[in-house]
Copies of this chain bind each other. A is one copy, B any other.
Amino acid sequence: MSIDKNIIASENESLHLQHKKKLDFLQSEIENTQTIIDKLAAFQIGIPSWALGAGGTRFGRFSFGGAPRNIEEKIEDVGLLHLLNKNSGSISLHIPWDIPDDYQKIKALAAEHQLKFDAVNSNTFQDQPGQEFSYKFGSLQHVDAAVRKQAIDHNIEVIKHGVALGSKALTVWLADGSCFPGQLNFRRAYQNTLDSLEQIYAALPEDWKVFIEYKAYEPNFYSTTVADWGQSFSYVNKLGNKAYTLVDLGHHLPNANIEQIVALLLMEGKLGGFHFNDSKYGDDDLTAGSIKPYQLFLIFKELVEGMDARGMNHATDLGWMIDASHNVKDPLEDLLQSVEAIMLAYAQALLVDRKALEEAQQTNDTAKSQEILQAAFRTDLRPLLAEARLQSGGALNPLGLYRKLNIRKKLIDKRGADSIATGL
């Protein structure tokens, strides 16, 4: 399933006049739009392989048809997204759901779609068929050393898959924790986890990073062994220079100030990457920007300012990934919406008048600070996103074109209405 570049070009042609008018207006209002456009064009967001199939809840899943049946079709799907928006240039694989049979073939396929392999993800929260020990009571935290070894070995194997594909990072999300008071000794769970992580860390290639994700709750409902940024931070400090904290927007207690956490982790040199999504209640895994777009902007404001303060490259020095789950939308449409919302927040953050903000902060001019932030947020920057896509060879209106070309229908025709993505 691919789209002829001529089709994109001709569709862009038909929309160009309208786009040009909006862009011209914006360029007459904002200085140096090309600087922003270049940064937008360079920014790439990793698509997780598991977001391409039907998500769901413990109460059920609802399929949508045409789901990718294997890693090749997952790569094709991400390739399609990237062709349309030019900001989805990498895929984040999940092991064991996406183990390639032939690395070279898979690498070639990815290259064909101009895709890189983002962080690889291990899975020690489910039992796989034929697995010797169960993770029912945890993995890296487990009271039994044999279970821990199995989980450690799995992570090391994931690294090997990643090396073969050209990944440069391992993401460790642990469901480890407990459901009832008394189930765990918290200190022992911490120590076991740390010991296990140290063994995984020792297996990291020189140029790799390991991202330690935290999550407040779910699937464990009393305690989680890496429950908050402070706990992840304490692990990554002990592990060493290659260890970083990964922030998933849905993994916090109610009302947490995520942008402050991001700012402090960046300050400490320990922010590794992001899992974007949105949520109203818990880890709802909704489309990025669909519930709290202002929060997304505030987070990007910290990212841009904090990365610049450390001389970091926005596009490459942090791992940018989506982690969402789609129950009531076509997942490809959902991902196009997520990428658009993330890019918009990034563009707004780039527009913030930082010199004026700095001045307002130094004089405690709170009303002014708010005016400065909201001026950026309220400006309609969609034309800059479109222009960045256009300059990169993507579509002016990715979702519009996706629908116009009936791509979901074509995928269903090809893959069937009942196809199921591996791992789901």
Contacts and interface: CB of A to CB of B under 8 A. Distances in A.
Interface in A330-347: 330, 333-334, 337, 341, 344
Contact of A337 (B190, B259, B367, B377): B367
How many chain copies?
Answer: 4
Nearest to A290: B180
A369 B183 CA distance: 6
A309 to B, nearest CB: 7
A257 interface: yes
Nearest to A266: B187
Given A222-B291, A264-B231, A62 B286 contact: no
Given A217-B280, A286-B221, A143 B361 contact: yes
B218 A281 contact: yes
Interface string A98-132: 00000000000000000000000000011100000
Contacts of A260: 186, 223, 227
Interface of A: 21-22, 25, 28-29, 56-60, 62, 125-127, 134-137, 143, 175, 178-188, 190, 216-219, 221-223, 227-231, 233-234, 252-257, 259-260, 263-264, 266-268, 279-282, 284, 286-287, 289-294, 298, 301-302, 306, 309, 327-330, 333-334, 337, 341, 344, 357-358, 360-364, 366-367, 369-374, 377-380, 382, 399
Given A187-B266, A221-B281, A337-B371, 5 more contacts: A56-B58, A143-B363, A185-B358, A328-B364, A380-B380
A369 B180 contact: yes
B253 A362 contact: no
Contacts of A266: 187
A331 B170 CA distance: 36
B361 A182 contact: yes
Contacts of A178: 328, 366
Nearest to A222: B280
26 contacts: A21-B28, A56-B219, A60-B126, A60-B127, A60-B219, A137-B328, A143-B362, A143-B364, A179-B286, A182-B361, A183-B369, A184-B361, A186-B260, A190-B264, A217-B280, A218-B281, A228-B228, A253-B253, A253-B254, A290-B370, A294-B294, A328-B366, A329-B367, A337-B370, A341-B374, A378-B382
Nearest to A24: B25
A293 B227 CA distance: 23
Given A222-B280, A286-B221, A306-B187, A357 B182 contact: yes
A266 B286 CA distance: 28
A183 B57 contact: no
A377 to B, nearest CB: 8
Contacts of A216: 255, 281
A382 B378 CA distance: 8
A291 B290 contact: no
